[in-house]
Amino acid sequence: MNYIKSYIRRIICLSAVVITASCADFLDETDQSNFTLDNYFTKPEHAVSVVNSIYQSMQPIMNSGFGGGTWMMLEFATGLADTELGQAQNSLFVKDLVNTSDNGYGQTFWTNYYRGIANANLAIAKIPDMNMDETQKQGLLGEARFLRAYYYFNLVQMFGNIPLITEPVDLTSEQLYPNPVAPAAIYDQIVADLKEAENSGLPMRDVSGRVSMGAIKSLLSSVYLTMAGYPLQKGNEYYGLAASKAKEVIDSNEFSLFGSYGDLHDPAMKNLGENIFMSQFAAYIQPSNWQVSIIPYNRGISNYSAETGGIFAQEEFVKSYEEGDKRADEKEFYYSSYTLREDRSQTLELGDYYIYKHFDVVAQTSTTSSDLNWPIFRFAEVLLIFAEASNEANGPNEDAYDAVNLVRERAELSPLSGLSQSQLREAVWREKFYELSFENKTWFDMVRIRKGFNVTTHEFEDYVGHQFVYGPTLKERELLFPIPTAEIRNNSNLVQNAGY
């Protein structure tokens, strides 16, 4: 398998990303010594280094430029995104539902997430035998198990039947060319890792950006919710588990919604407030570079030299927000005008709705080096997971209403009440689509509930047969992405997903 071949040449990834308490010293220096598995893992710093390397697999997903960006794959697959970037063929293939296994976006997800899994496997195998402080040891193992679960959770949802590898691999390993397994086995491993991580003693919040107990429980609630739906359809029991785990995060009182949507893209607020877990970036060291993709193509509004117009929201989607919803107001979640670089007193009407919730104002208008993190779990999502799962498990109830209405209250919308179970179910779905838009969440929800959102009628309709507002219609094959061509070529045990 391609990712394994490249990985075993190095044995261990030592170009580690370090997330310190201040998030200032973001990158660790690569150790120039020649390490092997026999002479590494001899002191605590080695354990920290290998765990840091697991985090590193998150950053490449967010790379963006005139070729598009891997993270956009999950947005164009919803039918709710558009692009001005004609040369970004990978984006257009997904957007127009003519995707193939040669798409580089899928390869980037696969390669980086399996690299993260390989580093996690190494950490989990080697750290237990190290002579080091037990509290630190258990904390590092908890981080490694969470990250392995996170990568597998994404991969299984995107690609379906995939290899399950939980031990370090070398040239003599039986799993050098692993067989794929059914999703149920992947989910069992994910749950096992997260349950073990819950015993790690990690704090509920970690303002440095490392894995916390809040992140572990948030991911587990999302996993249970997904297992309750498609493709496993475990139903009511797992809705109950999802609600219970989300409630633990809520009841911790460690997290709360920001009072302003502006805090969502204020670098000073990263890892704070409602930000439970984020992919870490740092200006001038490892800046977040999706900024060039969320501004219009060469319109002269940004200090960045590259203005790619890589991704923006479909107009019909933005206009489908409930009347009075603050999230749809100018420069809340979206923006349709901005000042000109050459004269900030002049405003340009852009003609489309660009993404403001990830917009770094300082970087765009001054530094061109963004300090923003990418949100992976926000407290708003946990509230909506709880509301949906509690309604499914117990029917409409006060706690479910309280959770969804907190999200609606910030949006300056009237509270929900007096709904049937099916009405509340769809109301929460709509809140998730609106609140978590363009955070790589919506497509996962569409596949889990097997529904697409009709932005014209505001109704949910069957995923297969759902027509995007600009024409293409989802087919059964779009319930998964294709396994990358290079992986199929290098491992004959893999089976391509149907329709690709």
331-371 pLDDT tens trace: 999 999 999 999 999 999 999 999 999 999 999 999 999 99
What's the mean pLDDT in 179-205?
98
Where does a domain end: 334, 355, 372?
Answer: 372
pTM, 2 dp: 0.94
The DSSP bridge pattern shows strands 180-181 and 343-355 to be unpaired
Instruction: Quote the pLDDT of residue 36.
Output: 67
154 in a domain, yes or no? Answer: yes
312 in a domain, yes or no? Answer: yes
Instruction: Quote the pLDDT of residue 34.
Output: 58
262 in a domain, yes or no? Answer: no
> 24 — phi, psi (to 5°)?
-90, -50
Asked if residue 61 has pLDDT above 70, the reply is: yes
Q: 354 in helix, strand or coil?
A: strand
Angle ∠(485,491,494) on CA atoms, nearest 5: 75
486 in a domain, yes or no? Answer: yes
Which residues constitute the domain of residue 67? 2-176+481-490
Looking up residue 66, the CATH number of its domain turns out to be 1.25.40.390
Rounded Cα distance, 31 and 357, in Å: 37
Where does a domain end: 346, 372, 398?
Answer: 372
Q: Does residue 167 share a domain with residue 285?
A: no
CB atoms inside a 10 Å sphere around CB 161:
18
DSSP codes, 160-199: SSEE---S---TT-GGGSPPEE-HHHHHHHHHHHHHHHTT
The share of the chain scoring above pLDDT 90, in percent, equals 90
Rounded Cα distance, 251 and 70, in Å: 35
126-159 pLDDT tens trace: 999 999 999 999 999 999 999 999 999 999 999 9
Q: Does residue 154 share a domain with residue 10?
A: yes
414-455 pLDDT tens trace: 999 999 999 999 999 999 999 999 999 999 999 999 999 999
CA distances to 7, 46, 183, 239, 242 from 224, rounded to whole Å, are: 31, 34, 14, 7, 5
291 in a domain, yes or no? Answer: yes
Count structural domains, the chain: 2
- CB-based burial of residue 57 (10 Å sphere; 0-12 exposed, 13-18 middle, 19+ buried)? buried
454 in a domain, yes or no? Answer: no
132 in a domain, yes or no? Answer: yes
304 in a domain, yes or no? Answer: yes
pLDDT bucket at 7, cuts 50 / 70 / 90: very low
Q: 69 in helix, strand or coil?
A: strand
225-244 pLDDT tens trace: 999 999 999 999 999 999 99
Where does a domain end: 306, 340, 372?
Answer: 372
Instruction: Quote the pLDDT of residue 19.
Output: 32
Instruction: Quote the pLDDT of residue 388.
Output: 98
Helix axes 421-435, 442-449, angle to 10 degrees: 160
